[in-house]
Amino acid sequence: NIIYQNILKSITSKEKLLAVLIDPDKFTVNNTETFIEKINQSIATHIFVGGSTVKANAAELLVSEIKKYTGLHVVLFPGDVTQITNEADGLLFLSLISGRNPEYLIGKHVASISKLKDTTLEVIPTGYILIENGKETAVQRVTETQPMPKNNIQNIVDTAKAGELLGMKLIYLEAGSGAKEPVNPEIISLVKQELQVPLIVGGGIKTKKQLDNAYKFGADLVVIGTALEEDELFFEVLHK
Ligand code: 1GP
């Protein structure tokens, strides 16, 4: 379990981790080489692949293309079972613990087992928590769950802690792809204080300042998707 060990190590060494999220549904496979080259020259440490509405096989095709051009670990961040492919290195086995839809708490997981039987993927159980950010997000729409109200921070903290006590190895605070505002610093910091396991933060991070803030308040790994997809110039402030 090299991917998880590396994440754990980063906590003690205080090295901050950055995952660039590529959504197979929004990404043109022909751009892979140039885009991955930019990732290679940036401070990114991981590549995540996944999305809420990906067509069958699109993820597999994209991952095998990505692997040609980078040595970074490619980790699946799947919206559905069809996105699971052994071409990747790891899999965030996400349970949407902010919601109360049994399909996304355990149903999809059961359905994925035939695919995972002989898998070479490093499977990392992850508690996934969707937080309200002012507008409806794809995760909310697809999973038919409500995000957690951002004012009830204690409830968010308790949810994260419950995930950890259930054995989840990572907790992911999600504002939703393309969120207007990232998860607010107070939430990050109060959740971080209660957790032993590493904390991932993503959704709506568009500036270096917001990235640094997420780290400052306790994120161990930050995920950026939309901002890099829409404006590759953002890579310039993320240079190694
Ligand atoms: C979404 O947290 C990720 O699931 C990244 O969000 O696309 O807004 O960067 P963005």
Helix (H) or strand (E) holding 132: none
> Ligand 1 centroid vs 178 CA: distance in angstroms?
6
pLDDT value at residue 56: 81
CA angle 163, 73, 20 (to 5 degrees): 75
Report whether 79 belongs to an annotated binding site. Answer: no
Point out which residues pair with 88 in neighbouring strands: none
Which residue range is the domain that position 154 belongs to? 2-238
Beta strand 17-22 with 73-76 is unpaired
Number of domains in the chain: 1
Give dist(CA 176, CA 173) in Å, integer: 9
User: Which residues lie below 8 Å from residue 148, measured CB to CB, with a gap of 6+?
Assistant: 98, 129, 130, 131, 132, 155, 156, 159
For the stretch 109-114, contacts whose Cβ atoms lie closer than 8 Å and that sit 24 or more positions apart, written own/partner, are 111/81, 112/81, 112/84
One pLDDT digit (tens) per residue for the chain, 240 residues: 999 999 999 999 989 999 999 999 999 999 999 999 999 999 999 999 999 888 888 999 999 999 999 999 999 999 999 999 999 999 999 999 999 999 999 999 999 999 999 999 999 999 999 999 989 999 999 999 999 999 999 999 999 999 999 999 999 999 999 999 999 999 999 999 999 999 999 999 999 999 999 999 999 999 999 999 999 999 999 999
Q: Is 226 in the pocket of ligand 1 (CB under 6 A)?
A: yes
User: Which residues lie below 8 Å from residue 145, measured CB to CB, with a gap of 6+?
Assistant: 96, 98, 99, 100, 101, 104, 130, 139
- Concatenate the DSSP letters of all residues of 148-166 into one string: BPTT-HHHHHHHHHHHHHT
Report whether 173 belongs to an annotated binding site. Answer: yes
Residue of 199, 223, 235 best suited for mutating to test ligand 1, as the one with most atoms within 8 Å of CB? 223
- Cβ atoms 21, 179 nearer than 8 A: no
Q: Is 11 in the pocket of ligand 1 (CB under 6 A)?
A: no
Give dist(CA 68, CA 44) in Å, integer: 17
Nearest residue (by CA) to ligand 1, atom 5, is 203
pLDDT value at residue 213: 98
Nearest residue (by CA) to ligand 1, atom 1, is 177
Report whether 174 belongs to an annotated binding site. Answer: yes
Give dist(CA 82, CA 56) in Å, integer: 5
CATH number of the structural domain spanning residue 215: 3.20.20.390
Residue of 104, 205, 229 best suited for mutating to test ligand 1, as the one with most atoms within 8 Å of CB? 205
Q: Is 147 in the pocket of ligand 1 (CB under 6 A)?
A: no
> Ligand 1 centroid vs 57 CA: distance in angstroms?
21
The token pair that represents 86 in the structure block: 């052994």
pLDDT value at residue 54: 82
Q: Is 222 in the pocket of ligand 1 (CB under 6 A)?
A: no
Give dist(CA 72, CA 87) in Å, integer: 13
- Cβ atoms 233, 226 nearer than 8 A: no
SS3 31: helix
Q: Is 173 in the pocket of ligand 1 (CB under 6 A)?
A: no
Q: Is 178 in the pocket of ligand 1 (CB under 6 A)?
A: yes
> Ligand 1 centroid vs 193 CA: distance in angstroms?
23
- What number is the ipTM of this complex? 0.98
